[in-house]
Homo-oligomer: A and B are copies of this chain.
Amino acid sequence: MSRRSLKHYLYVTIFGTHTRAGRLFDILLIIAILSSLLVLTLESVPSIASEWGKQLRALEYTFTCLFTLEYLLRLYCSPKPSAYAKSFYGVVDLLAILPTYLAFLFPAASSMSVIRLLRVMRIFRILKLVRYLQDSNILLRSLLMARRKIFIFFSTVAILVTIFGSLIFIIEGPENGFTSIPKSIYWAIVTITTVGYGDLVPQTHLGKAIASITMLLGYSILAVPTGIITAELSQEMRTHKTLVKCPNCSKSGHESDAIHCKYCGGELAEPNQRVVVNEGKN
């Protein structure tokens, strides 16, 4: 195999998902990421760390070596290494290995090693897999279409939380635990999101009335983001459905997992090809 074809083969395997080797690589990578996350997590449990600390550290070094090798290979086989290095995943890939080396060089910076948990974001690579591409595109586009409505919703929640937080601060006051406005706003967030820790609760009658209104408001305005996303999503799904055309009779409106045209029976384009077409249009 020539050097160029090797580079291309690596590229197709590591970055692509169309070949069998590419899919295998993706699956192995996800297993490695999940295992390394498990190791990092277990290392933080004092009782486990004291007993298995050595073995866990050895495993962690192994995973870091593997991820370093993978990073170098990606840099090597990428047609534009600098573009990859500056991309979102390129930075995440680097952040996933850097802390281990820094902790090795400067033992004092070991607390920084939690950054390694950002490795978890590498799991998003799974969305690259053909099966999930279409669905994650639909979800992302719905969120994108709804971004202004979501912003308005969050502004409204921020305003409500400030108003109810200051109200409870005046009514309850420091003697009942509401020592400052930021703390009262924290209480309002805990209440309006229906989390309700119970570490800070109103004691006076009026405070309880205000809390009740906050809860009922939080309970009902949850309906707004749901309504926004549902409306956008069902519109997006309907649009997407109509985009799939039969190459034989040109009729559209096929289910996204249909293989044959429901009007003439002609074979439809393969799902991953269809996705490419849609992406070109958007």
Contact = CB atoms under 8 A, between A and B. Distances in A.
A159 B135 CA distance: 18
B180 A46 contact: yes
B117 A166 contact: yes
Contacts of A127: 152, 155
Interface stretch (A5-13, A17-25, A79-87, A197-205): A197-205
Interface in A207-228: 208, 211-212, 215-216, 218-220, 222-228
Contact of A149 (B42, B135, B157, B232): B135
A50 to B, nearest CB: 12
Contacts of A120: 158-159, 162-163
Contact of A121 (B46, B159, B181, B232): B159
B157 A117 contact: no
Interface stretch (A53-61, A62-70, A101-109, A185-193): A185-193
B215 A189 contact: yes
A134 to B, nearest CB: 8
Contacts of A94: none
B159 A149 contact: no
A228 B186 CA distance: 30
Contacts of A182: 41-42, 44-45, 205, 208
Contacts of A117: 162-163, 166, 181
Given A191-B195, A193-B215, A226-B227, A148 B170 contact: no
A159 to B, nearest CB: 5
A37 interface: yes
A277 interface: no
Q: Among A135, A169, A174, which residue has the most Cβ atoms of chain B within 10 A?
A: A135
Closest 6 CB pairs of A and B: A195-B196, A227-B229, A44-B181, A197-B198, A231-B234, A227-B230
Interface of A: 37, 40-42, 44-46, 111, 114, 117-118, 120-121, 123-124, 126-127, 131-132, 135-136, 138-139, 142, 148-155, 157-159, 162-163, 166, 169-170, 174, 179-183, 185-186, 189-199, 201, 205, 208, 211-212, 215-216, 218-220, 222-235, 237
Given A196-B198, A222-B222, 20 more contacts: A45-B182, A118-B163, A120-B159, A124-B159, A135-B149, A139-B149, A139-B224, A150-B220, A183-B208, A186-B211, A190-B215, A193-B216, A196-B196, A223-B228, A226-B229, A227-B229, A227-B230, A227-B232, A228-B233, A230-B233
27 contacts: A41-B182, A44-B180, A45-B179, A46-B179, A46-B180, A111-B170, A114-B166, A120-B162, A127-B152, A127-B155, A132-B151, A183-B208, A191-B195, A193-B215, A193-B216, A193-B219, A194-B195, A194-B196, A195-B219, A198-B198, A198-B199, A223-B225, A223-B226, A227-B234, A228-B233, A230-B233, A234-B235
